[in-house]
Amino acid sequence: MLDTEQNSPVLPPEIDRRRTFAIISHPDAGKTTLTEKFLLYGGAIQMAGQVRAKGQARNTRSDFMQMEKDRGISVSASAMSFEFRNFWFNLVDTPGHSDFSEDTYRTLTAVDAAVMVIDGAKGIESQTRKLFEVCRMRDMPILTFCNKMDRESRDTFEIIDEIQENLAIDVCPASWPIGVGRDFLGCYDLLNDRLELMDRADRNVVGESVEINGLDDPKLAEHVPAELLEQFLEEVEMARELMPSFDHQAFLDGTLTPIWFGSAINSFGVQELMDGIGNFGPKPQVRPADTRPIAPDEPKVTGFVFKVQANMDPKHRDRIAFVRLCSGHFRRGMKLTHVRTKKPMAIASPMLFLASDRELAEEAWAGDIIGIPNHGQLRIGDALTEGEQLRFAGIPSFAPELLQSVRSTDPMKAKHLDKALNQFAEEGAAKLFKPVIGAGWVIGVVGALQFEVLASRIELEYGIPVRFEPSQFTSARWLTGPQEDVDKFIDINKGHMALDHDGDPVFMTRLQWDIDRVERDYPALSLSATKEIL
Ligand code: GDP
């Protein structure tokens, strides 16, 4: 049976009401503020503002680090679940800084949709564009929220044009702003014919909402001053002529994005956006795996690890694997097969993340994100099933672009450094290479800021002061080929070889020329800049 609205199979009600998404934005556009308001309307917290306050106090939120506060960036991803109307939302937090693209990329493999937040004065910024491209590669549906409309912002047509031209996606206005900056009054909800008025007096209060019987309704003039009304009516007429109307299928295909205008800090436009996520979806989607596609309504449970986070709570040295459930109805205590090792795992204390609290998950459904505490068995990319041997596709690991060696500045603590580094490698926070000859480690990252984050975390979480120093190498490539050839190659090139944290051989060099030479001289071997984590 097909659900005509979403053109997809009818799902069990609990799966049908799940919405799993991420927010993509450039730093400072308002992602944190919007998240707080989501949680506020999701009933997950009493008062917006508590996400930060509680997080700092309890260290369970991702942005607990001093460095993050100083720089105003969010370093690692976490998940939050909350209910809104009849829907169950799973919001996966993406790190905003460009240095964390790999982590972000993996996070986006765990969601079905993205909310793109842009600053109404700035439009599309560099990081928005990068993240958008990642979503586009998967044809992911995108909802757009144009934030900070309470301030001087760009002309509405200009904003929409910029998105259409820069990102090559059709844009359909779901709401239309009335007035700009200080004169910003609110929005007309074009999908539901309502006038939404912003309440400037109380930021946590949702303003008045007036049902309007079309744009000719005299009620409009009762709420909108004449000089604003005239311009607004002209603009909407033009917009309706020039812009596509909402097409649900085009949205689900990722070729059209509805845009809402609002002000997260004033709680304005947020509920309309949430209604959009709820009503338009998408619902949990079919996931590609190596053997066959996995549908969410299959009775058996499957899922994959997209994120491992260590030391979320410094008091408990736990490690949480974040798992996206792809099918079935999960119950606490279930025995699942850890496909990589083929071993059974009893999932005794799965976690649900509700705002800044975690809670035991008695059950969970396809689409949900659960956290599984473990001692390092669960790695990024690992699949969990009820016995079936399968691997979920498309979770990549990138070759680091920057290499540095690391040592502890306190020789007494040097031996604990191994443990700390291994832990971060398992989290996917850095690549760890053990040179075949000599002592020490080479650390590889995608962006320079990651070195600072690592140094700060090693000090904070393990009490080990460390220093990163330039390595003699600048590139790392995974080496694959017939075992005999690989072994022979390693033997001849010991000074260039290292093993990564999974024990796979890596060729390190500072010259592209070296890489070309290996490829030419050793046709049986290949050097690769990515490794699928499987
Ligand atoms: P993030 O870096 O994307 O998480 O952005 P934040 O949510 O931390 O917001 C960045 C800054 O913009 C903060 O100072 C917020 O208070 C401010 N901000 C967020 N939303 C709005 C808004 O709707 N209007 C105005 N004027 N400021 C906002």
Q: What is the SS3 assignment for 1?
A: coil
Q: Which of 23, 26, 33, when mutated, tests ligand 1's pocket best, judged by the most ligand atoms within 8 Å of its CB?
A: 33
Is residue 16 annotated as involved in ligand binding? no
Q: Which residues pair with 81 in a beta bridge?
A: 90
Contact present, 143 and 175 (Cβ < 8 Å): no
Strand order in the sheet with 209-211: 175-178, 186-189, 194-197, 209-211
Atom of ligand 1 nearest to the CA of 263: 23
Residue 447 phi, psi dihedral angles, 5° rounding:
-135, 145
Q: Which of 23, 25, 26, 28, when mutated, tests ligand 1's pocket best, judged by the most ligand atoms within 8 Å of its CB?
A: 28
Ligand 1 midpoint to CA 116 (Å): 14
Write the pLDDT tens digit of every residue in 305-354: 998 887 665 555 668 899 999 999 999 999 999 998 999 999 999 988 87
Closest protein CA for atom 25 of ligand 1: 148
- 18-25 vs 113-119, strand pairing mode: parallel
Is residue 98 annotated as involved in ligand binding? no
Calculate mean pLDDT across residues 278-295: 93
Is residue 101 annotated as involved in ligand binding? no
Task: Quote the CA–CA distance of 113 and 39 in Å, as a whole number.
Answer: 18
What residues flank ligand 1, with Cβ below 6 Å?
A: 25, 27-33, 96, 147-148, 150-151, 263-266
Ligand 1 midpoint to CA 265 (Å): 7
Please choose, from the candidates 262, 281, 282, the residue with its C-alpha nearest in 3D space to the C-alpha of residue 272.
Answer: 262
- 431-435 vs 441-445, strand pairing mode: antiparallel
Name the token pair of 106. 């993996």
Task: Quote the CA–CA distance of 278 and 17 in Å, as a whole number.
Answer: 8
- 505-509 vs 466-470, strand pairing mode: unpaired
Write the pLDDT tens digit of every residue in 205-225: 777 888 888 888 998 999 999
In this structure, how many other beta carbons lie within 10 angstroms of the beta carbon of residue 4? 8
Write the pLDDT tens digit of every residue in 148-180: 999 999 999 999 999 999 999 999 999 999 998
Name the token pair of 214. 């079309």
Calculate mean pLDDT across residues 40-56: 50
Contact present, 323 and 304 (Cβ < 8 Å): yes
The answer to whether ipTM exceeds 0.95 is yes
Ligand 1 midpoint to CA 29 (Å): 6
Q: Which of 63, 265, 270, when mutated, tests ligand 1's pocket best, judged by the most ligand atoms within 8 Å of its CB?
A: 265
In this structure, how many other beta carbons lie within 10 angstroms of the beta carbon of residue 170? 17
Write the pLDDT tens digit of every residue in 69-100: 443 333 333 788 888 999 999 999 876 555 55
Write the CB contacts of 201 (distance below 8 Å, at least 6 apart in sequence): none
Is residue 69 annotated as involved in ligand binding? no
Q: What is the pLDDT of residue 99?
A: 55
